[in-house]
Amino acid sequence: MTSLRPAQEEIVNYAGGRMGISAVPGSGKTYTLSWLAARLIEQADLFDDQEVLIVTLVNSAVDNFSTRISGFLRDKGLIPNLGYRVRTLHGLAHDIVRERPDLVGLSDHFTIVDERESQEIMDAAVASWLRIHPEFITDWSAPDVDLNSSHYTQKHWIDLVDSLARSFIRQAKDLQLLPADLQRLMQDINEPHPLLQLGLEIYTDYQRSLNYRSAVDFSDLIRLALLALQSDPDYQRRLHYRWPYILEDEAQDSSSLQEQILRSLVGLDGNWVRVGDPNQAIYETFTTASPRFLRDFLREPDVAARNLPNSGRSTRSIIHLANSLIEWTNAAHPVPELRDALTRPYIQPTPPGDPQPNPPDDPNGIFIMPQGYEAEKEIESVAISLKRWLPEHSDWTVAVLTSRNERGAKIVEELKKRDIPYVELLQSSQSTRSTADILAACLRSLADPGSATKLQDVLKRLGRIAAGDDKAMVNYYRGAVALLDRCPRLEDYLAPLPDSDWLAALPSDQVADEVRQILADFRDRIVRWQKASLLPVDQLLLTISQELFTNAPDLALAHKLALLLERAAANHPEWQLIEFAEELSSVARNERKLPGFSEEDTGFDPDRYKGKVVVATLHKAKGLEWDRVYLLSANNYDFPSAQPYDNYISEKWFVRDRLNLEAEALARLKALADGDLEGVYIEDGPATRAARLEYSSERLRVLYVGITRARRELVVTWNTGRRGDSQQALPILALQSGWKGNV
């Protein structure tokens, strides 16, 4: 075993009661908590039917804890897999409900819908609601938005209503409110707000579909676990006895329901250790989690508050930069409400003689770019830097971190174009996006058969598949596209009369036989696909795919995409090919996850990919570290600071008054639950402004997470955005004076 630092030693000597631990990035909290679990199993005189319960955030952490604890127990001469249980919150909730489903009105054979099935149910509920309420989009659209001329805008609205409804349902379940409860609360309201009505009606439809399947979703599982504990005090006491020690990891991401479940299991006299870093609470936007639960716990009078302040992950300069962000936020942020977004303790380097010493310090290893790039130029600049840097650092790990999956996909495309080896940690893989992209192009062309531009677009993409790295074939396809561009009438190419065949009339001495054959084969394909366009869209997609792809992975992806469109067709019977093409394009742009084709988080080890560029979102990067990190898009759109000139991703351009509809709906839902009628009837706008503060606070923490992923070198760049009006993020501007450099 590695020796412990003094702060770690104090924690593993814990004997009982309640203890809260603030652990800085790289402080070894998993190692410390695992050691504590092993020591308790060895020394706490547990009975055979008792266990130490460890609750963590993701499945990869379950495996990590189990492996470490087993190793420590083996070193102590104990049986490695006895005396403890490691669960995610969902896993724990499942254990509680599965043991006594009768307490919450479920049969012994209840099922849990996965993400894919939950999304299918939600898609159907949203589509049904929008068909009944077409006026909703009109009423809430910005005055200058032309809804009749843009399928793209309609698709945006469907996605927004889906996201709004999902957030509403998640929050309602966190408040332990079922549709019937909301209906009862709304009886006293004369004219319910349209957003409340939307949430209630879609929630009712969604929950009815779950009940029809005798199923629950993951949010139900947590809600029902608490209900089971509250319904039967004897059951609660049995579980309290079974788990006399509860160790909670990643407590900064705890939700109200999670805290209530664990408090119920711990009881008034139980033993509870909560470990987390409030500065790394970055999931509030997507979940009902909040760092305030851990912060409040640390201030409770019967809680022993401890710190894990030492970290050997990063150089002293990178540590100083992260600490400077905390200091600036606390003391100098221009918005007082944001000054508690980050909190102490500061990160401290490891002491002399520590088994995990900090990397040798190099202040020149931090590069904060003062000038902003155009959006595409930023990606190009980073790729050029990597191309130059990688050959001399093949034994280093390196990552490019970005805020959104779509941006990550563009980075991957640039790396691939420059033959730079890469690994993806994004919402969908490059192969998925490529498959979706070419199939979307085919549907766009079939939807508009008179468009020469769309037809050429399909041929270009076919050329990339067929030619591969064959330079001669690449040139032949380019020649075919150029010839097609000069075709005066598409019908003379696709459906020629005997005396007007454009392809046959091309001079043989001016057109290579290979080019002529490419155009002939392409015409045959397009004609077959046009005839097949009368088929249901999923069958059409499979027909096209069988001609385009030959290897099993691509065909499997195409089948998955066909199922996606089949479901969309059932939910939107009015859709034409252009809408289905846009659905595929959303996958190709990495805006939508394709269920079943992203690997579950089963543990990612950056050290396995030395000499390759890992492309990840900042959220995916949490818990990981690399020798060199590129942090992109550090502008006031990705990292706003509640300034008058900031823009916010949740305030959609197509919504009137740039309202954040999710924030407006959730604020009214919480007011309804609290019996606050004034909050229910409040005018539109205040909730949007409050959400700006919450989001800006979270983005400061996301920035902190990004900085602390770097071991030895950190490169921070920013771009001026799609419209060219974005500015450097305010916190980066504040930190910049200490570090100058060039990529």
Q: Does 23 show up as a binding residue in the annotation?
A: yes
Tokens of 519: 């155009």
Whether 634 contacts 718, CB under 8 Å: yes
Q: Does 107 show up as a binding residue in the annotation?
A: no
Collapse the DSSP code of 280 into the 3-class scheme (helix H, G, I; strand E, B; otherwise coil) and give the result: helix
Amino acid, res. 170: R
273-300 as b/e: b if 16+ CB within 10 A: bbbbbbbbbbbbbeebbbbebbbebbee
Q: Strand 398-402 vs strand 613-617: parallel, antiparallel, or unpaired?
A: parallel
Residues in the chain: 743
Residue recorded with tokens 């606070």: 697
CA–CA distance, 399 with 9 (Å, rounded to integer): 33
Whether 50 contacts 335, CB under 8 Å: no
Q: Does 28 show up as a binding residue in the annotation?
A: yes
Q: Does 167 show up as a binding residue in the annotation?
A: no
Q: Does 716 show up as a binding residue in the annotation?
A: no
Q: Strand 366-368 vs strand 710-716: parallel, antiparallel, or unpaired?
A: parallel
Tokens of 27: 């402080």
CA–CA distance, 345 with 342 (Å, rounded to integer): 10
Q: In Å, how far are 149, 378, 492 from 551, measured between CA atoms? A: 39, 35, 34
Taking alpha carbons only, the member of 399, 406, 441, 402 closest to residue 593 is 406
Q: Does 343 show up as a binding residue in the annotation?
A: no
CA–CA distance, 341 with 693 (Å, rounded to integer): 10
The strand pairing partners of 310, in sequence order, are: 348
Residue 150 contacts by C-beta under 8 Å, 6 or more apart in sequence? Answer: none
Q: Does 155 show up as a binding residue in the annotation?
A: no
Residue recorded with tokens 């980073």: 382
The strand pairing partners of 626, in sequence order, are: 710
Whether 618 contacts 400, CB under 8 Å: no
- Residue 740 phi/psi, 5-degree rounding, is -125, 150
Q: Does 24 show up as a binding residue in the annotation?
A: yes
In the annotated binding site for ATP, the residues are 23-30
In the annotated binding site, the residues are 23-30
